[in-house]
Amino acid sequence: MANHQPIAAEPPIPEELWDLMARIGPRWGSDVGGNVRRMVEAYSEVLKASPKDGVAVTRDVAYGRHSRQRFDVFQPEGTGPGPYPALLFVHGGAFVEGHRNRTDEIYSNVLYFFARRGVVGVNIGYRLADDSSYPAASSDIASVVDWVRENAAEWRIDAARIYLMGHSAGGAHAASYAYDRRIHGDAGHGLAGLVIVSGRVRADNLPENPNARKVEAYYGTDPRRLDDCSPVSHVDANSPRTFIAFSEFENPLIDVYCLELAYRLAQARRKAPPVYFLKRHNHTSAIAHFNTSETALGEAILEFIHGR
């Protein structure tokens, strides 16, 4: 195992931001878009003070011809020769929007957190529903997983310890790749584990879902197709080890679907997966708080990666 250098202190979440989260949390679902923007803006300011030392970043690695088929690699420095486990991160955006670098700080904060602790991070861009429908995003993930496998030695990655992590719509795309054999193919998913943070792992266009039209833009409207395309519909005994996290104040139904995923995995694998509940957090802060001084979720994911 690598000998890690001392980790520099991450900035605390300011009390005024906790207060804002407490005010908007109970009414999160009434203005999802506006609340997401508020969190992105607030956390981007906090994360400017986050340490980024000890990480070498290689940006805009192309894995396809589409402009969104790019990723960034975050490599640990000064933590030993490797090889390291790798964490491939898939951002959210309600299927029709989003970018791996939504701001200068988000979502690179996730990869900095893990790279500073000895995990190679890969921040994945993928095609969106403005011009590509299901299963384009999960197929893009398949391409990146293949790329990482093939180039593992060059990037000091342990090919037997490749983990995939997705947030929100990114959680849906990641889980479809990991669970659905039609997407990952006969060769298998090639993952040591999957991390789902606030993932919409069931495709739905219910009235309760304020992003229903965006779901339809990617999956269509046929109820049978929505069920068939849902990651939870493809869980079986061979599904990869999975870590599931969701927040107290979620986009409507996401907490329900995360718990459905936990139940289906427990039934199929005959062992309950680890489930982490982020008290006081909302759908966006669940991912935006990485690389602040609140490290509990990140440390739990590291324990999952290291098999503890």
Overall pTM surpassing 0.75 (yes/no): yes
**Under 8 Å between Cβ of 173 and 128:** no
pLDDT at residue number 38: 98
- Whether 94 contacts 169, CB under 8 Å: yes
Domain 15-305: give its CATH superfamily: Alpha/Beta hydrolase fold, catalytic domain (3.40.50.1820)
Residues of the chain short of pLDDT 70, as ranges, are 1-6, 79, 308
Over the stretch 70-103, which tens digit does the pLDDT of each residue have? 999 999 997 677 899 999 999 999 999 999 999 9
Cβ 223 vs Cβ 256: under 8 Å: no
Sequence ranges of the domains in the chain: 15-305
What pLDDT is stored for residue 96 in this prediction?
97
Task: Name the residue type at position 195.
Answer: V
First to last CA, the chain: 14
**Residue 183 in tokens:** 């997407």
Give me the pLDDT at residue 82, please: 81
Per-residue model confidence (pLDDT) at position 3: 40
- pLDDT score of 4: 47
Q: What is the dihedral of CA 73, 93, 288, 59, to 10 degrees?
A: 20
For 61-106, the three-class secondary structure string (H helix, E strand, C coil) is EECCCCCCCEEEEEEECCCCCCCEEEEEEECCCCCCCCCCCCCCCC
pLDDT of residue 44: 98
C-alpha to C-alpha distance for 146 and 123, rounded to whole angstroms: 15
Q: What is the helix, strand, coil percentage profile of the chain, to 5? A: 40, 20, 40
DSSP annotation string for 237-276: TTSPPEEEEEEEE-STTHHHHHHHHHHHHHHHHSSPPPEE
